[in-house]
């Protein structure tokens, strides 16, 4: 096959492929289905960096023992509105979907519910779990901590993750509001694009090893890989002039809610290794929440006002040169609708990686 041929694949067969790979690796059928669904949901929504392009990391994680296929998940603490789960080093997706269901169950009973997860692994796109709440007319919340890539304001050490915050809110005739944002100005993937193009990136995205904002993406990526100093900047950029301390505060808040409140690792989360040098589970933490709309006001009134609010924003006067005002999640809903029909375009390198994984697991890729 030509190395640069674009590959288009439909969501269903891609999901089946991922599920079969996980099952081959020893993941129970239901957990495999959830993990596959979370990955392909990212591709459908156009968040390609978090989709099947990452399948290899999960396959490697399972093979290295970093991600356990049959963890013994247990309840640490439980109250009517809250629960903390220990994921026992399992895959992040299945325990996260279950934790979110628990939060929703509690919201059904007492009005609002929260689930905290310790000792987990990467859970994919934060928005997936927040959006689960939409099925039951609830507001959903999801946060996770992640690899240390982001420098706190005035520091040169990458101590915080890109620590995303996702909140999904149902509307009436309008698509839901789905905020799913890293608390850094940009994700690492954006730097990789500038690195590949050899282009200077904008100031405010990342710092060099002295802690000063830089336009040299290649240098920042090299520093991050070598765990030298510097890293991504929090939302708001360098220092306090454009309020980088606010992005830093949001990243820290996510580390507290996901890492400290659950009893997971926090600040300077890296891939730990055992005494024999073998990698250990990442001990990532997550936080989930659900609010029942009718625990605050009648849902029909809420939906009417949501539609009106979102319409007012969409129909507002555009800034000079702008043609459209977006609601958060809108671009992703449109991409998903298109990709459901037209298929998901896979980068040739991603397709090649899936072929390799398929080969090693005896699972035929759907292309």
103-132 residues near a second copy, rule: CB under 8 A: 107, 109-114, 116
In order of 155, 182, 200, 206, the CA distances from 244 in angstroms are 12, 14, 21, 11
User: Among 211, 279, 348, 366, which residue interacts with a second copy (rule: CB under 8 A)?
Assistant: 211
156-195 residues near a second copy, rule: CB under 8 A: 156-157, 159, 167, 169, 177, 179, 181, 185-186
User: Among 13, 46, 175, 263, which residue interacts with a second copy (rule: CB under 8 A)?
Assistant: 263
Please check whether residue 35 is in contact with residue 17, taking contact to mean a CB–CB distance below 8 angstroms: no
Instruction: CB nearer to a second copy: give 236 or 358.
Output: 236
Closest distance to a second copy from the beta carbon of 335 (Å): 16
Bridge partners (DSSP) listed for residue 9? 344
User: Near a second copy by CB under 8 A, which window of 59-67, 123-131, 273-281, 295-303?
Assistant: 295-303
In order of 75, 90, 164, 280, 310, the CA distances from 86 in angstroms are 6, 9, 21, 15, 38
User: Among 57, 70, 74, 297, which residue interacts with a second copy (rule: CB under 8 A)?
Assistant: 297
In order of 132, 169, 177, 260, the CA distances from 136 in angstroms are 8, 11, 15, 29
Size of the site for a second copy (CB under 8 A): 88
Please check whether residue 177 is in contact with residue 327, taking contact to mean a CB–CB distance below 8 angstroms: yes
d(CA 211, CA 219): 12
333-362 residues near a second copy, rule: CB under 8 A: none
Closest distance to a second copy from the beta carbon of 76 (Å): 7
Structure tokens at 360: 């090693």
Gyration radius (Cα) of the chain, Å: 21
User: Is 254 an interacting residue with respect to a second copy (CB under 8 A)?
Assistant: no
Provide the 3-class DSSP secondary structure of residue 144: strand
User: Among 228, 246, 345, 348, which residue interacts with a second copy (rule: CB under 8 A)?
Assistant: 246
Structure tokens at 64: 């290295």
User: Near a second copy by CB under 8 A, which window of 40-48, 127-135, 207-215, 351-359?
Assistant: 207-215
Structure tokens at 195: 């690195």
User: Among 221, 280, 325, 361, which residue interacts with a second copy (rule: CB under 8 A)?
Assistant: 325
User: Near a second copy by CB under 8 A, which window of 56-64, 272-280, 297-305, 344-352?
Assistant: 297-305
58-97 residues near a second copy, rule: CB under 8 A: 76-77, 79-82, 84
d(CA 109, CA 89): 29
User: Among 59, 255, 339, 351, which residue interacts with a second copy (rule: CB under 8 A)?
Assistant: 255
């Amino acid at each position: 096959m030509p190395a640069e041929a674009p590959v288009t694949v439909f969501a269903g067969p891609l999901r089946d492929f991922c599920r079969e790979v996980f099952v081959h690796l020893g993941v129970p059928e239901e957990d495999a289905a959830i993990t596959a669904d979370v990955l392909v949901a990212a591709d459908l929504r156009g968040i390609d960096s978090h989709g099947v392009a990452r399948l290899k990391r999960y396959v490697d994680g399972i093979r290295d023992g970093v991600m356990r296929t049959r963890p013994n998940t247990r309840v640490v603490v439980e109250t009517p509105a809250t629960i903390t789960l220990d994921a026992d080093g399992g895959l992040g997706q299945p325990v996260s979907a279950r934790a979110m269901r628990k939060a929703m169950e509690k919201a059904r009973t007492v009005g609002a519910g929260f689930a905290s997860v310790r000792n987990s692994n990467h859970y994919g796109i934060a928005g997936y779990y927040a959006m689960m709440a939409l099925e039951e007319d609830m507001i959903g919340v999801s946060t996770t901590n992640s690899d240390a890539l982001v420098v706190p304001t005035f520091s040169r050490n990458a101590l915080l993750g890109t620590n995303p915050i996702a909140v999904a809110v149902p509307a009436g005739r309008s698509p839901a509001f789905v905020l799913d944002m890293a608390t850094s100005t940009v994700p690492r993937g954006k730097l990789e694009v500038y690195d590949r193009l050899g282009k200077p990136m904008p100031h405010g995205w990342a710092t060099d090893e002295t802690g000063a904002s830089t336009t040299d993406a290649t240098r920042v990526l090299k520093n991050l890989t070598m765990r030298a100093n510097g890293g991504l900047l929090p939302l708001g950029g360098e220092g306090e002039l454009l309020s980088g301390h606010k992005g830093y505060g949001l990243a820290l808040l996510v580390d507290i809610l996901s890492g400290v409140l659950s009893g997971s690792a926090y600040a300077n989360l890296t891939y730990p290794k055992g005494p024999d040098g073998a990698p250990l589970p990442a001990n990532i933490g997550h936080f989930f929440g659900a609010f029942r709309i009718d625990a605050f006001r009648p849902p029909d009134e809420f939906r009417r006002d949501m539609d009106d609010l979102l319409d007012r924003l969409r129909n507002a006067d555009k800034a000079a040169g702008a043609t459209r005002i977006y609601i958060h999640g809108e671009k992703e809903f449109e991409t998903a609708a298109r990709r459901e029909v037209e298929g998901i375009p896979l980068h040739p390198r991603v397709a090649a990686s899936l072929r390799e994984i398929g080969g090693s697991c005896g699972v035929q890729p759907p292309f």
